[in-house]
Every structure is written in structure tokens, then in C-alpha cells.
Amino acid sequence: MQILIIEDETKIAHILRQGLMEDSYSVDLAKDGEEGWEKVMINSYDLIIMDIMLPKMDGFTLCKKIREKNIHTPILMLTARDAIEDKIEGLDAGADDYVTKPFSFTEISARIRALLRRGNKTEPVILQLADLVLNPATKEVKRNNRNLNLTAREYALLEYFMRNPNTVLSKTRLLEHVWDYQYEGLSNIVETYIKYLRQKLKTDKSSHELIHTVRGLGYILKTKAN
């Protein structure tokens, strides 16, 4: 799941980024409204966090522009003060929720989970494919009732596959949604992590392959090879 943070205050942006990365999200940063707009046009994010007071283009204007483009990505606004007018204006502009600064990371984290759930109403609470079960709330993964011990990145990769089963996912798409922006271009990292994940998914000799290579296109998570 990839999140864009649009915030000109470097310190806040970095604290947020650090916390979100620890929560296994992939994070992209923009330092003003125009840069945020450009990134939203180029990439497909799963959620956007934006400050209201931004250089070049303020959060209200940016939010309206995004909604005018029919982009429905959940938007969480950061308001500098507890001003009710800001909240109303933000929601009118198309934001889904807001958090008042100073905020606790725990609060942001809970709001994000709620927005991601709301953003995809058909999304099941527990993700399952054959004997593979993933619980996004506890980040537990089981295959054939046995717990898999995954690293944060392996988990994020598997979660993305399980949210998009039976779909060919290109290396570029996986890099965008699972890794951070600065890794762009390092497609070897995808191959490496697919290898790790396949090893961990092989809980015993008879367990069949779930992540299949589609030559020249990418990878697909499905139960059968054909």
C-alpha cells in the first residue's frame, strides 16, 4: 500500500514517513502543493496525507483539483489548529478525514487503517487464497495453519499480492506499491524478495507454488499454474 505525504515541514514529514514505513507502508514525499499535484497525476496512491498550509498550492485547492480529476484516493488532511472552519472547508473540498496538529502517530495510524477499509468496502477483513491466510490487522500470515515469519517488506509484498489475486503485477507496479520511491529502477530487488517469499511460502515439500512468474510481464498470485 503506497501513501503520499504532502507536507512542507520536513520534521513532521520525516516522522510520519518513518512511522508509516514501520507499519509496512511504502511512502512517497512531496514538499509543496505543486509537487504533490504532479505526483498524484503520475502515480496511483492508495492514500494521500496532506497539510492545508502548503507553499505553491494550498491543501484545499489541491484537494479540489484531485477530486475534479475524478481521483477518489482517500485523503487525510492535517490542520494546524483546531479550527472548525478548516475542517468544514477541507471536507467540502473532498477530504475524507482530518487530524489536528500536533497529532500522535497512533491516531494517524488508526485513521489510515479506517480510511483504507472505507476506501474499499468489498475488501474482506481476512485475506485468503487456498491455504494461505493473511490478517491485515495483526499482520499474521499462516499457510496450512502454520505461522509464517515474514520480514516487514516480505509481508508488504505478500499483502499487495493478496489484495490483487489472479492479476499479473509488473515489477514496476510492485516497486511503486511495496517499495519506497527512491528504490525506483532497482527491479532486482523485486526478484530477490519474490525468491524470499516463495521460500517462506513453501512450508513443506508438498505445498504448491502460489506466486507464478509470467515471462516478460511480471508475477501473479493464484492457486493453479494454468
Residues that bind Ca ion (CB under 5 A): 8, 51, 53
The amino acid at 142: K
82 vs 204 by CB, closer to Ca ion: 82
12 vs 71 by CB, closer to Ca ion: 12
Cβ at position 116, least distance to Ca ion in Å: 24
Nearest one of 33, 97, 20 to 60, comparing CA atoms: 33
26 vs 79 by CB, closer to Ca ion: 79
The amino acid at 111: R
Cβ at position 59, least distance to Ca ion in Å: 8
Cβ at position 30, least distance to Ca ion in Å: 12
Cβ at position 94, least distance to Ca ion in Å: 19
DSSP letters, 142-184, are: EETTEEE---HHHHHHHHHHHHSTTSEE-HHHHHHHHS-GGGT
Nearest one of 97, 89, 45, 52 to 71, comparing CA atoms: 45
How far, in Å, CA of 226 to CA of 91, rounded? 47
Cβ at position 103, least distance to Ca ion in Å: 13
How far, in Å, CA of 50 to CA of 38, rounded? 14
54 vs 197 by CB, closer to Ca ion: 54
Q: Where are the alpha helices (DSSP H) in 43-151?
A: 59-68, 84-93, 105-119
**155 with 139: CB under 8 angstroms?**
yes
51 vs 176 by CB, closer to Ca ion: 51
Cβ at position 38, least distance to Ca ion in Å: 18
10 vs 128 by CB, closer to Ca ion: 10
